[in-house]
Amino acid sequence: MFKRDLGPFESERVTLRLLEEEDLPLTLAWRNQDHIRTWFLRTNLILEKDHYAWFKRYKELDNDFIFLILAKELNHTPVGQISLYDIDWNTGIAEYGRLMIGHSDARGKGYARHATFLVLRIGFEQLGLKEIHLEVKEENLLAQKIYLDCGFVETERANKLVQMKISAFGFTRR
């Protein structure tokens, strides 16, 4: 099975387009930054060969979509990534994650919030999902604020993780 072609998708401040092989050096550099990888569930450094092997597998999955975040105000410069993955097409449920703003000039400018809202729109309006859930580290208060602002609700706390979800019914288009 091959990945369906999606996008690009635009909002007022960001464009989301599917990750391409030429993006891998950039996304690997972002992911391996200490201040970014600390927030991932797996915090290990990723080797280049492993990143490229992962991408080869990713390209064959039609339930995993990683989008590069392009900042319109920065001449469409790539500033981060975001994804919907583990999509169960039968139930319409997916996981949200892999969010990172890796470009230093883009941090704290609202791009993560705009990209989150846009990827939710894609999930509900383009992919027909019914529910999207996530896990975030309990101490990652900034991310939790973004998720709550975008409509996610907390469902559980366990093992220093916060589970959140949003349904298509509860999603408000802005």
Residue-level pLDDT, tens digit, the chain, 174 residues: 678 889 899 999 999 999 999 999 999 999 988 888 778 777 788 899 999 999 999 999 999 999 999 999 999 999 999 999 999 999 999 999 999 999 888 989 999 999 999 999 999 999 999 999 999 999 999 999 999 999 999 999 999 999 999 999 878 765
> Which segments of the chain are extended strands (E)?
9-10, 14-18, 65-71, 77-88, 93-101, 131-137, 153-158, 161-167
Neighbouring residues of 112: CB distance < 8 A, sequence distance ≥ 6: 80, 82, 99, 101, 143, 146
Phi and psi (nearest 5°) for 136?
Answer: -140, 145
pLDDT score recorded for residue 37: 76
The first and second tokens of residue 74, run together, are 């920065």
Architecture of the domain delimited by 9-130: 3-Layer(aba) Sandwich (3.40)
If 0-12 CB within 10 Å is exposed, 13-18 middle and 19+ buried, where does residue 114 land? buried
The CA-to-CA distance between both ends of the chain, in Å, stands at 34
Smallest Cα–Cα separation from 81: which of 36, 144, 19?
A: 19
Q: Model-level pTM?
A: 0.93
In 45-126, which residue ranges form alpha helices assigned H by DSSP? Answer: 48-58, 111-121
C-alpha angle 144/14/82, rounded to 5°?
A: 45
User: How many helices and strands (H and E) does the chain possess?
Assistant: 5, 8
